Amino acid sequence: MPELPEVEEVRREILPAMEGARFERVELRRRNLRRPFPRDFAARLTGRTVRALRRRGKYLVAELSSDESLLMHLGMSGWFRVEREGSAAPEPADAHDHVVFHMSSGAAVVFNDPRRFGAMDLVAPGKLARHRALGAMGPEPLDPAFDGAALARACAGKRTSLKAALLDQRVVAGLGNIYAAEALHLAGLSPRRRASTIATPSGQPKESAHRLARAIKEVLRRAISRSSKPASRGSRFRVYDREGDRCTTGRCKGTVRRFVQAGRSTFYCPDCQQ
């Protein structure tokens, strides 16, 4: 499933085609994705202008001139591509191209989703913050307000593992399995550690909370900055999908191991992550 850096990459890719442009025509090639499209979906978009295109966690949010918001989630396999209308050599039609936004910018923004776990919704004015997908969502990890103190407050008293806490979207928005493992490695914290151990009993941050918050920001920023640069899987990640490799931390001589937590693969170095 695409994580925050990949969703941000998609946002930046479609931004020039959508922000400030009007929906000239909306083409729905099926009745539903993960869920049915909202009532009169195409009609409610047609003629509306995208005032802003932003990201909230793993969701894309287009703020419309109607004051409604178009909420989009990529699901497990969804992706957008941008085509120029009237191109001499348009891309061939794909059976998994389910939605096409024909924009006044002269671009067609195509949503392709082979597994159809993506979703689109139209949210009424003033109700976005209370939407079922966003209402309980925690702080954005790249927001200045997200720091060790905020992370400690969210983890205080939690008996779950630190890795599981990081995957809880109520603790921090948009962080997924890959970058949670990467941040824990960078911070030198075991994914098996109890979440509450980064906070005092009163919820104040320990040094480990500050270290982890900084690591989360760093791995996400690095991932976003290299999203447009070709790189091998081995060079992209510190521990993720590197079982059996030597640890990449300084003088550590440990070996990356894998185990399963809540049905998900966790990669870590038992020597330097405590």
Backbone angle region of 238, left / alpha / beta, with phi > 0 → left and psi within -120 to 50 → alpha: alpha
Alpha carbon distance 61, 258 (integer Å): 35
In 118-248, which residue ranges form alpha helices assigned H by DSSP?
148-155, 162-167, 177-187, 207-225, 233-236
Q: What's the CA gap between 259 and 104, in Å, rounded?
A: 50
Residues with catalytic roles: 2-3, 58, 264
Q: Where are the beta strands (DSSP E) in 104-142?
A: 107-112, 119-123
User: What's the Cα-to-Cα distance from 246 to each of 37, 94, 95, 240, 257, rounded to whole Å?
Assistant: 48, 42, 43, 12, 10
Q: Count the neighbouring beta carbons within 10 Å of the beta carbon of residue 137.
A: 19
**From CA 143, how far away is CA 101, in angstroms rounded?**
30
Please give the structure tokens belonging to residue 111.
């949503």
Paired residues of 63 in beta bridges: 52, 69
**Percentages helix, strand, coil for the chain, rounded to the nearest 5?**
25, 25, 50
